[in-house]
Structure 1
Amino acid sequence: MSVLDIQSLTKDFGPQTVLQGLNLHVAEGEFVSLLGPSGSGKSTVFHLIGGLLQPNHGTIYLDGENINGQTGSISYMPQSPSLFPWRTIIENVILGAELFGKPDKEKAKQMLQRAGLGDYIDAYPAELSGGMRQRAAFVRSLLSPQSFICLDEPFSALDEFTRVDMQKWLLSIWEEERPSVLFVTHNIEEAIFLSDRILVLSEKPANVMEEINVTFDRPRSEDVMLTNDFIAMKKQIYQTLRGE
């Protein structure tokens, strides 16, 4: 299990400051969502954690190690599944482990079975629906040797019903594996349904303007979205984002 600790993170792009003095923490086995308006720097945070960008100031620690500018420390799932079309589904999902010389095809087969993809192990991405490709991409992130996962709006391109199904599936798999997750979204309901904690980002230069503990019992069903407490939390976050 991993612990992420970001301290006083600042990132400039030329004259524009995107993040300023950002602090956040993700504990072992915790599911934390970053919620903010479009363009608030959510994906920039991921690029910094993943070592694709260097911060101007501040430090990113993973399990106590400074990983500023260091690639390969986390497992990352982008908005699109990013599956290689010339590799079969099983070849795609073991890719991350393969890069580190640790592919385990038997475990991959078991995970694909749990993901409802057991009949598609030897299929190619073009033969799968969008939701199925997203499930394969998430299995790949779980099979990667890194124990910290960053999920960057992975369901944003899906229709509403498929999206809810994917959220429920993600929670069912996460409940069993319990990796540490930092999840980026701009969907308030999604953040509440999935998370242990929600960090609400301000407009640029972004900082955490509110931290919300989500106390609904796990495992969660979609029925919780219809409760008064859920609706009240959604309203609270909406007002925070609107600056009310």
Structure 2
Amino acid sequence: MGFLEIKHISKSFNGRNVLDDISLEVQEGEFVTILGPSGSGKSTLFHVIGGLLVPEQGSVMLDGENITGKRGFISYMPQQPALFPWRTVLENVMLGQELHEKRDVEKATAMIEKAGLKGYEYSKPSELSGGMKQRAAFIRALLSPHSLICLDEPFSALDDFTRLEMHQWLLSIWAEFRRTILFVTHNIDEALFLSDRIIVLSSNPARVIHEVKVPFEHPRERDLLLMDEFLTLKKELYEAVGRL
């Protein structure tokens, strides 16, 4: 499962409208990216989906159930890995399982190996590179029992080379486990390389102003970034963002 419906969501702070009548859907197993400039309300929308904020108007539906204002229904990965420094990699990735009393050390160990972190199971976060920390954080999200994973600009702090490596790794893991992913970024290349669909938000307040269905097959390789069709879609998205 993992079918998300956002219906007419509006949210304001101190009289300032941040989200204005936002409606969108994410199909089961789909990778959808929300694209918009910094300050366009992308993270606020995630907080509404996760139940951390309650909208003045609208509803959030997951697999037909109204989860508006309810916590614990999605897996959320913030911009920073947010690993507990006193816990090992294995203990960190199992946190979501522990919260739902579903510890599976064998599965967690296998996922750590798939993430290229074999040998680091008992290492602390301080011993990992930035990319390794992000892999551990994503494995923690995958190991949670939730059908929807929300990723809030998880690669923004990485250098370009590590970011591209993480893109390919993320897609390989997603292709295998096919969880529903809602991804937030302000990076157009990142959005095009990763997504099935891209939804562009305006800012002040955030509204859905454009949508692109990404036609590229999986798996995706680095040379995609230089293909004419990729560059044409990139231009379309630049123009959409430029209208903000």
TM-score norm. by structure 2 comes to: 0.99
> Which secondary structure does the structure 2 equivalent of 1:120 belong to?
coil
How far, CA to CA, are the matches of 1:223 and 1:70 in structure 2?
42
How far, CA to CA, are the matches of 1:122 and 1:202 in structure 2?
44
Instruction: Report what 2:214 is aligned to.
Output: 214
Deviation (angstroms), 1:15? 1.1
Instruction: Report what 1:51 is aligned to.
Output: 51
Q: Percent identity?
A: 59
Instruction: Report what 2:170 is aligned to.
Output: 170
* TM-superposition CA deviations, 1:67-104 (whole Å, max 9, x none): 11100000000000000011000000000110010011
How far, CA to CA, are the matches of 1:124 and 1:38 in structure 2?
32
Question: Map of 1:96-175 to 2, 5 A cutoff?
Answer: 96-175=96-175
Deviation (angstroms), 1:47? 0.3
How far, CA to CA, are the matches of 1:198 and 1:131 in structure 2?
24
Instruction: Report what 1:199 is aligned to.
Output: 199
List structure 1 segments (4+ residues) > 2 angstroms apart after TM superposition: none
Q: Which blocks of at least 5 consecutive residues in structure 1 are unaligned? A: none
> Which secondary structure does the structure 1 equivalent of 2:28 belong to?
coil
> Which secondary structure does the structure 2 equivalent of 1:54 belong to?
coil
How far, CA to CA, are the matches of 1:42 and 1:190 in structure 2?
16
> Which secondary structure does the structure 1 equivalent of 2:22 belong to?
strand
Deviation (angstroms), 1:122? 0.6
How far, CA to CA, are the matches of 2:98 and 2:19 in structure 1?
34
Deviation (angstroms), 1:14? 1.5
Root mean square deviation of aligned Cα: 0.8
Instruction: Report what 1:76 is aligned to.
Output: 76
* TM-superposition CA deviations, 1:136-185 (whole Å, max 9, x none): 00000000011100000000000000000000000000000000000000
Instruction: Report what 2:12 is aligned to.
Output: 12
- Please state if 1:88 is matched with 2:61: no
Deviation (angstroms), 1:219? 1.0
Deviation (angstroms), 1:222? 1.2
Give the partner amino acid of 2:37: P
Give the partner amino acid of 1:81: P
